[in-house]
Amino acid sequence: MHVHLREPGGEDSETIVTGLKAAIAGGITTVGVMPNTFPPMDTPESILNLLSAAARCGLADVVPVPCVTKGRAGKELVSFLELHETGIYAFTDDGDPVHDSGLLLDALDAVYEFDGVIIEHPEVTDLSGGSVNRGTVSRKLGVTGIPCAAETADVARCMEIASNSHGHLHLTHLSLPRSVAIARAECFHSADVTIDVTPHHIALCEDALMEHGTLAKMNPPLRSAEQRKSLAEMVSSGMVDAIASDHAPHARYKKAGSIDEAAFGIVGLETLLPVTLEILRGLQMPVIRILHLLTCGPARILGIPLPVLEAGRKADLVLFDPQAEYRLSETGSFSKSVNTPFFERKLQGRVEAVWMGSVVYRDGEFEH
Ligand SMILES: [Zn+2]
């Protein structure tokens, strides 16, 4: 439900074709596409362009998630009804928060008219000028740290605003137990709020930076070992609504250089399923509930119909072997970018085949 395909404007990192191939290889048949392209996706034309480009690929389906504000500039709301007429329910300025609280409230009220949702990337940018989590690792690396408040303060702001609207707010890539606790606090139970976390925030802590360098640099940053553990336990106990890859491909040169210079983010489409399975099975979460976080959970948030297994309907199916062990490598990956700390990891849960109507992928190869 949270994927950066980079096209248009960032084709050296990913294209619609390579991104959707990586999705299918990762067992993902529908991709929620973020709007922070160049130009940003904020018009009916840009939505229709993405839909037709994806249809030409004949791979995964896409759900365009256009901007909340025009040009993603945070100054003026998009025309929600006009964009909704193209079949869109979800909107986001992801990459940035909607800083202007008045606009955020108006946006929630506006999408309530058609049961839409605003997906918010929580960040107080006055606090987030660093490169990694503020703590022992930022001190060891000698770089500026990002304090937890850069996320939690914005989660609190968003929750207060959502409490004043009937509109649905979705908080994405929460990286801290405290953020989940605020979003689930008793006092906010009347607000219509859903949340997701990423596989990397429940699988890795800030120590990964010492081993993987810029490949472990992401926003929000990897947190402390204790925070990672608590966050994973919150997910396994059913406190979040979805797991999102936050697939953020970057060409090699964008991850070269120092920790401070490198871009934030990692690719995640091909590791979403195995990494999520590894961490949550390790916490005794039933597989059917884990899969819910990757399928029905995101579909409900994005306002798309759930696939049905029924004669006469389009097959939308993934066959995977939950026991099969493998490792992903640069050469075996379908994404155009290779920025991930998970390549050396032993993965379990290999995708064997994917049907989108008919078989599109089997045993590591595409049918066309
Ligand atoms: Zn984001």
Q: Are strands 365-366 and 358-362 parallel, antiparallel or unpaired?
A: antiparallel
20 three-class SS: helix
Ligand 1 centroid to Cα of residue 96, in Å, is: 7
Bridge partner list, 64: 33
- Given pLDDT bands bounded at 50, 70 and 90, which one contains residue 344? confident
Ligand 1 centroid to Cα of residue 141, in Å, is: 24
pLDDT reported for residue 308: 85
Alpha-carbon distance of 141 to 53, in angstroms, equals 43
pLDDT value at 251 more than 80: yes
Model pLDDT for residues 134-152, shown as the tens digit of each residue: 999 999 999 999 999 999 9
Alpha-carbon distance of 255 to 217, in angstroms, equals 9
Model pLDDT for residues 73-107, shown as the tens digit of each residue: 999 999 999 999 999 999 999 999 999 999 999 99
Alpha-carbon distance of 345 to 211, in angstroms, equals 12
pLDDT value at 156 more than 80: yes
Tokens of residue 289, six digits: 């509930």
Alpha-carbon distance of 114 to 133, in angstroms, equals 38
Q: Are strands 347-356 and 358-362 parallel, antiparallel or unpaired?
A: antiparallel
Instruction: Reply yes or no on whether 115 is catalytic.
Output: no
Q: What is the CATH number of domain 16-366?
A: 3.20.20.140
Contacts of 178 by beta carbon, 8 Å cutoff, 6+ apart:
148, 152
Alpha-carbon distance of 83 to 42, in angstroms, equals 8
Q: Which of 89, 104, 85 is nearest to 154 (CA)?
A: 104
Q: Which of 307, 321, 312 is nearest to 350 (CA)?
A: 321
Q: Which of 353, 314, 10, 34 is nearest to 196 (CA)?
A: 34
CA 339 to chain centre: 15
Mean pLDDT within 218-227 = 98
Ligand 1 centroid to Cα of residue 308, in Å, is: 30
DSSP 277-293: HHHHHHTT--HHHHHHH
Bridge partner list, 3: 33, 247
Ligand 1 centroid to Cα of residue 120, in Å, is: 8
- Give the mean pLDDT of the chain: 97
| Structural domain spans, the chain | 16-366
Percent of the residues in the chain that have a pLDDT greater than 90, as a whole number:
98
pLDDT reported for residue 202: 98
Element of type H or E holding 355 = strand 347-356
Contacts of 327 by beta carbon, 8 Å cutoff, 6+ apart:
343, 344, 345, 346, 347
Q: Which of 246, 316, 321, 363 is an active site residue?
A: 246
CA 15 to chain centre: 17
By the CB criterion, residues less than 5 angstroms from ion ligand 1 are: 94, 121
Ligand 1 centroid to Cα of residue 226, in Å, is: 23
Mean pLDDT within 277-282 = 98
| Cβ proximity of 193 and 159 under 8 Å | yes
Alpha-carbon distance of 12 to 253, in angstroms, equals 10
DSSP 189-252: TTS-EEEEE-HHHHH--TTHHHHHGGGG--SSPP--HHHHHHHHHHHHTT--SEE---B----H
Ligand 1 centroid to Cα of residue 19, in Å, is: 18
Q: Which residue has the tokens 């979003």?
A: 183
φ/ψ of residue 364, rounded to 5? 85, 5
Ligand 1 centroid to Cα of residue 173, in Å, is: 7
pLDDT reported for residue 46: 98
Cα→Cα distances 36→56, 80, 150, Å: 22, 17, 21
Tokens of residue 23, six digits: 């999705």
- Given pLDDT bands bounded at 50, 70 and 90, which one contains residue 355? very high
Model pLDDT for residues 22-32, shown as the tens digit of each residue: 999 999 999 99
Rg of the chain over Cα atoms, rounded to whole angstroms, equals 19
φ/ψ of residue 190, rounded to 5? -75, -20
pLDDT value at 368 more than 80: no
pLDDT reported for residue 307: 80
Ligand 1 centroid to Cα of residue 339, in Å, is: 17
